């Protein structure tokens, strides 16, 4: 039987935060499209579970994206196993609720460290190998909280705003090296992070959070429902593939119309 051609055949991808949610969904799609995928996460078990679902194409890397030595090792382990990375999906992120007047400094710094500094460090570590390989695609994980005001999310929104500015900035510096840099801004997606932060904020167990989520979000989303992880992974595959060869510095919303409402 002839093997069908994958959209990411021959690519070597690094996906941070691949042990859960959006990162796992994208890592699995990347592998299904033919890429070799380094699944990076703080959570070994989560990353292992993702890799188990993809077999030979996957590598577990336990690393903290806020630590430069870890991001350097993440690239070294990827190069050793698969060769130089040609795709980076800098997806690892954490939530953090609170209005600007209430959020404490520790939480602010933790959110900025993972969501913004982690994105930068991941790119910094990948760029030399990516440029040597002749180019690549960096996909940064933004959020629609960077584009419209969301209540009680000062640190998170600021971190994602930074990601968008960094994306545009890096696109300019690295276009001559054939490295494309784009950001995805997902709307409200059903993931463990969303369920956890809502359960926490509302003081209910995670098992009871679905009705509350629907009641709050559906009226704000023209398409009338939350997004699914595969709907973001589909955009990530496009940006990782050569189909997006002339797309750089772009901020792509995937949000059921929420930022257009």
Q: How far is the CB of 232 from ligand NAD (least distance, A)?
A: 8
Tell me which residue of 231, 250, 227 sits closest to 26, measured CA to CA: 231
Binding flag, residue 75, ligand NAD (CB under 6 A): no
Of 61 and 130, nearer to ligand NAD (C-beta) is: 61
The DSSP H or E segment spanning 256 is: none
The DSSP H or E segment spanning 15 is: strand 12-16
φ, ψ (nearest 5 deg) of residue 60: -85, 130
Tokens encoding 13:
């991808």
156 as an active site residue: the answer is yes
Tell me which residue of 169, 166, 186, 170 sits closest to 136, measured CA to CA: 170
Whether residue 75 contacts residue 133, with contact meaning beta carbons closer than 8 Å, is answered with no
Binding flag, residue 43, ligand NAD (CB under 6 A): yes
Binding flag, residue 77, ligand NAD (CB under 6 A): no
Tell me which residue of 129, 34, 138 sits closest to 80, measured CA to CA: 129
Q: How far is the CB of 134 from ligand NAD (least distance, A)?
A: 28
Of 10 and 257, nearer to ligand NAD (C-beta) is: 257
| x-marked contacts with ligand NAD along 113-152 as a string, rule CB under 6 A | -xx--x----------------------x-x---------
Binding flag, residue 45, ligand NAD (CB under 6 A): no
The binding site for ligand NAD (CB under 6 A) comprises 16-17, 19-23, 41-43, 46, 64-66, 91-94, 114-115, 118, 141, 143, 186, 188-189, 191-194
């Amino acid at each position: 039987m002839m093997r069908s051609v994958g959209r990411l055949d021959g690519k070597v991808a690094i996906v941070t935060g691949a042990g859960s949610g959006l990162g796992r969904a994208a890592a699995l799609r990347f592998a299904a499209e033919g890429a070799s995928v380094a699944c990076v996460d703080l959570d070994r078990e989560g990353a292992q579970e993702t890799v188990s679902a993809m077999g030979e194409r996957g590598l577990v890397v336990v690393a903290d994206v806020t630590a430069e030595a870890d991001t350097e090792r993440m690239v070294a382990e990827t190069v050793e196993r698969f060769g130089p990375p040609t795709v980076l999906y800098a997806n690892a992120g954490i939530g953090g609720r609170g209005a600007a007047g209430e959020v404490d400094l520790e939480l602010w710094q933790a959110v900025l460290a993972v969501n913004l500094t982690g994105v930068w460090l991941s790119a910094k570590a990948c760029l030399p190998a990516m440029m040597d390989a002749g180019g690549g695609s960096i996909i940064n994980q933004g959020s629609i909280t960077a584009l419209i005001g969301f209540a009680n999310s000062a640190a998170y929104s600021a971190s994602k705003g930074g990601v968008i500015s960094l994306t545009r900035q890096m696109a300019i510096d690295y276009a001559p090296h054939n490295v494309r840099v784009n950001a995805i801004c997902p709307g409200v997606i059903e993931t463990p992070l969303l369920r956890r932060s809502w359960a926490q904020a509302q003081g209910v167990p995670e098992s009871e959070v679905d009705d509350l989520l629907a009641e709050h979000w559906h009226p704000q989303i023209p398409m009338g429902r939350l997004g699914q992880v595969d709907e973001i992974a589909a955009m990530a595959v496009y940006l990782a593939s050569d189909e997006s060869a002339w797309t750089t510095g772009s901020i792509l919303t995937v949000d059921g119309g929420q930022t257009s409402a």
